[in-house]
Amino acid sequence: MMSNSESMILKGGSVLVTGATGDIGRAIVNECVSAGAAVFAAGRNEDKLSALVNQYESRVIPLNYDVTDEKAVKDAFRQIQIQQNQPNVGPLMGLVNNAGVMKEAPLSVSAMDGLKAQLNVNFLAPYQHMQLASRLMARHRHGSIVNIGSQVGEQGSSGLSAYGASKAALSGASRSLAKELAAVGIRVNTVAPGFINTELTAHFDDEARQDIESRIAMRRSGRAGDVARAVVFLLSKQSAYTTGHVLPVDGLFYP
Give me the active site residues, please: 163
Nearest CA among 89, 63, 121 for reference residue 11: 89
Piece of the chain touching ligand NAP by CB under 6 A; list 5-13, 18-26, 71-79, 178-186: 18-26
Q: Which residues of 148-174 are buried (b: 16+ CB within 10 A; e: fewer)?
A: bbbbbbbbeeeebbbbbbbbbbbbebb
Smallest separation (angstroms) from ligand NAP to the CB of 185: 26
Smallest separation (angstroms) from ligand NAP to the CB of 161: 15
C-alpha span between 52 and 162 (Å, rounded): 31
Nearest CA among 13, 104, 22, 95 for reference residue 59: 13
228 within 8 A of 30, measured Cβ to Cβ: yes
Whose Cβ is closer to ligand NAP: residue 46's or residue 182's?
A: 46
**Binding-site member from 40, 195, 233, 253 for ligand NAP (CB under 6 A):** 195
Residue 196 binds ligand NAP (CB under 6 A): yes
Residue 49 binds ligand NAP (CB under 6 A): no
Residue 201 binds ligand NAP (CB under 6 A): yes
Smallest separation (angstroms) from ligand NAP to the CB of 130: 14
Alpha carbons within 13 angstroms on the beta-carbon side of residue 190 total 28
Whose Cβ is closer to ligand NAP: residue 24's or residue 33's?
A: 24
Residue ranges in 61-120 that form contacts with ligand NAP under rule CB under 6 A:
66-68, 98-102
Smallest separation (angstroms) from ligand NAP to the CB of 225: 12
Residue 190 binds ligand NAP (CB under 6 A): no
**204-212 CB contacts, 8 Å cutoff, 24+ apart:** 212/253
Residue ranges in 115-144 that form contacts with ligand NAP under rule CB under 6 A:
121
162 within 8 A of 114, measured Cβ to Cβ: yes
Smallest separation (angstroms) from ligand NAP to the CB of 170: 9
C-alpha span between 3 and 148 (Å, rounded): 29
Whose Cβ is closer to ligand NAP: residue 40's or residue 90's?
A: 40
Residue 19 binds ligand NAP (CB under 6 A): yes
Vertex 150, ends 113 and 102: CA angle to 5°? 30
β partners of residue 72 = none
Interface with ligand NAP (CB under 6 A): 19, 21-25, 43-45, 66-68, 98-102, 121, 148, 150, 193, 195-196, 198-201
